[in-house]
Copies of this chain bind each other. A is one copy, B any other.
Amino acid sequence: MEIIRDPKAMQEIAIDLFKRSRSVGFVPTMGALHDGHVSLVKASLHDNDETIVSIFVNPTQFGPDEDLDDYPGSIDEDTKRLKSLHLDYLFLPKKEDIYPQNYLTYVEVQGLTNRLCGLSRPTHFKGVTTVCSILFHLTLPTVAYFGQKDYQQTLVIEKLLKDLHFPITIKVMPIVRDKDGLALSSRNQYLSGNERISALRINQSLEKAEHLIHEGERNVYILKKAITEHLSKSKDIHIDYISICHPKTLIDLTQLTIGKVLIALSVYLGGTRLIDNRIVKLAN
């Protein structure tokens, strides 16, 4: 596994791989790697000639009151883990090489970013699309891998790639969960023992909603009420949003009809913000 810190060196390698028609999978991460990240890396290793993983805690996707300074880091452990997977390239850029003094350029996907997580994190996706544009130019991948847990992010990146005609496709991998159902997240580390127990209600409430839909419930108000009631049984859960919406436009639905529906939610447990989601296919 080659470790690259210098953006220009990364780009030179990427250009060489591109010219040699090697298919390159790219997995952008913020480190604190868990089995969700590992599933992306494994998929890329399986699908491509070469795989590049980046670890970069991107400051522009954190709001002023968020956990940038506390974001979990474990670079030695991450490196060891990626090495054991026989990763090809690990890209570890420095903050000042990505955002030097007098950095001025931002990439923004409108519309899609004003909903769901965009409401409580108004500058988040602009930071994501900006850093991904930079990282895509530095790694020139054939395919970029993202996890479905960050569902809205996958839509935003898909739109970024399409609108700006990046010659890159996106591959979205399923949510990886702990045995008890909690979606893996680097932020799960923040949870106290009790909060970890309460957090199980997140996936349970999604399961409940899915079950109700399968039983024929089509009224969004009733579905949201069921989710809210289940979450609210734990007093330490504070709901940020519950959205039942179109899985491509993220526009809220009031009544389910045909096709697929996205159920997505975000809650706070103490200072920790967790998200989860599920796509449910409606029986005809």
Task: Give A contacts to B, CB under 8 Å.
Answer: 7, 11, 15, 18-19, 21, 102-112, 129, 133-134, 137-138, 140, 159-160, 163-167
**Chain B positions within 8 Å of A138 at CB level:** 165
**Chain B positions within 8 Å of A104 at CB level:** 109-112, 159, 163
**Chain B positions within 8 Å of A163 at CB level:** 103-105, 134
Q: Is B167's CB under 8 angstroms from A15's CB? A: yes
**Chain B positions within 8 Å of A7 at CB level:** 165
| Cross-interface CB contact of A19 among B18, B109, B129, B137, cutoff 8 Å | B18
Complex CA gap A134/B162 in Å reads 10
Chain B minimum-CB-distance residue to A99: B163
Query: What are 15 of the A-B contact pairs (CB < 8 Å)?
Result: A18-B18, A104-B109, A104-B111, A104-B112, A104-B159, A105-B107, A105-B109, A105-B110, A105-B129, A106-B108, A107-B133, A107-B164, A134-B163, A134-B165, A137-B164
CB distance from A278 to the nearest CB of B (A): 25
**Chain B positions within 8 Å of A159 at CB level:** 104-105
Chain B minimum-CB-distance residue to A19: B19
CB distance from A24 to the nearest CB of B (A): 13
CB distance from A170 to the nearest CB of B (A): 14
Given A18-B18, A21-B19, decide whether A137 and B107 contact each other with a Cβ distance below 8 A.
Answer: no
**Chain B positions within 8 Å of A107 at CB level:** 105-108, 133, 164
Other 12 A-B pairs with CB < 8 A, given A7-B165, A11-B165: A11-B167, A18-B18, A19-B19, A103-B163, A104-B112, A105-B129, A105-B160, A105-B163, A107-B108, A107-B133, A107-B164, A133-B164
